[in-house]
Structure 1
Amino acid sequence: MNLNISGHHVEVTPPLRDYVVTKLKKLERHFDHLISAEVILSVEKQRQKAEATVHVSGANLHAEAVDGDLYAAIDLLSDKLDQQTRRHKEKLRNHHHKQAHKRMSA
């Protein structure tokens, strides 16, 4: 997976970059068709924001999280993306409703 991490009004230090990489690697455990991800970390006064767009086969998943601590915002972002990837994977797997629909219309 190609990963692009950038910061607005915040320097992306190596420990911060490693933390983001570690959190996004967990997404690959659930869904291995991840193509690329863009992560933007920003700071505005007391508001720390992390947002990401993950390109997967068949969809683009976007999430953002705001917290007082940047690491906590990254955790929230990771949880949201994890939930979205699981939901997307279920949509790809669940073909039962199409078969039932075909039987009813035939």
Structure 2
Amino acid sequence: MNLTISGHHLELTPAIRDYVQGKLERITRHFDHVIDIAVILGVEKPSEKDKRQRAEVNLRLRGSLIHVESFAGDLYAAIDSLIDKLDRQVLKYKTKVQDHQRDAIKRMPDMASA
């Protein structure tokens, strides 16, 4: 799994990098077929005072791409919200893949008896 963390108009500190990596371990615990993760952290226009911090992620899986964005007043809150959204998307993708494989196995005996 390749992990890329970049910042737009933002200085990435080791503390922020460690925080993002620690949170992303939750995603890889649920689903280990992750190929690539690209995290972009940034600051939006100053005119949007209440939600200036932006966090987005592109998670590349085998045959699929999951994109999630989150905005908040605090960067750590944006990262927490992002990870929660990403976790729900990954679990949804995982159940979809598992249900599809289970259906195929159930149909095998029907085809053999026909």
Q: State the TM bucket, normalised to the shorter chain.
A: 0.7 to 0.9
Higher strand share: 1
Taking the TM superposition and a 5 Å limit, the aligned residue runs for 1:11-90 are 11-44=11-44, 45=46, 46=49, 47-90=52-95
Query: C-alpha displacement at 1:58, in angstroms?
Result: 2.3
Distance 2:83 2:62 in 1: 19
Which ranges of structure 2 fall in alignment gaps of 5 or more residues?
none
Matched residue count: 102
| Bigger Cα Rg | 2
SS at match of 1:7: strand
Q: Secondary structure at the match of 1:94?
A: helix
Q: TM-score, normalised by structure 2?
A: 0.82
Q: What percent of counterpart residues are identical?
A: 51
TM-score by length of 1: 0.88
Give the stretch that moved more between structures: 90-99 or 56-65. 90-99
Please give the secondary structure, in 1, of the residue aligned with 2:4.
strand
| Code of the aligned partner of 1:34 | V
**CA RMSD, 1 decimal:** 1.7
User: Any stretches of 5+ residues in structure 1 without a counterpart?
Assistant: none
